[in-house]
Structures are given as structure tokens and as C-alpha cells.
Amino acid sequence: MRVEHLMNERVDAFLCATPSKAKIYEEALLDVLGQMKLWLDDNAETNSRTVVEF
């Protein structure tokens, strides 16, 4: 998944072999999205406020 796909509201079509692996993938993806949000908060220009929700 790429950030541009998130911005274009594309669906993540990654397939997992089992429901357990899908849950692990989901948790890892949410962790990475949380890290990306922190990075954006730390590196965004503060001239104008833009809200981005994941």
C-alpha cells in the first residue's frame, strides 16, 4: 500500500492465507499508519492547519 492509494481512497487488496494472518497484517498496518501520522505531525509545516484522519 502506498500513501497515494490512501489519499485516493483505494482499497487495500492484500490477501492473507488465514484469518489469523489477516489479523496480524491489520495490526501491523495500523501500527505503521500510527507511526506515519506521528511523522506527519512532526514534519508538517505549521502555516496553515490541515486535518488528516486515518
Residues 4-53: tens digit of each pLDDT: 888 888 888 888 999 999 999 999 989 999 998 899 888 877 666 667 77
Look up residue 51 and give its amino acid: V
pTM more than 0.85: no
Place of cell 484522519: 53
Distance CA 30, CA 53 (A): 13
Q: Where are the domains of the chain?
A: 14-42
Report the candidate in 24, 43, 33 with the shortest Cα–Cα distance to residue 3.
Answer: 33
- Give the angle subtended at the CA of 36 by the CAs of 30 and 52, to the nearest 5°: 90
Q: pLDDT at position 41, please?
A: 86
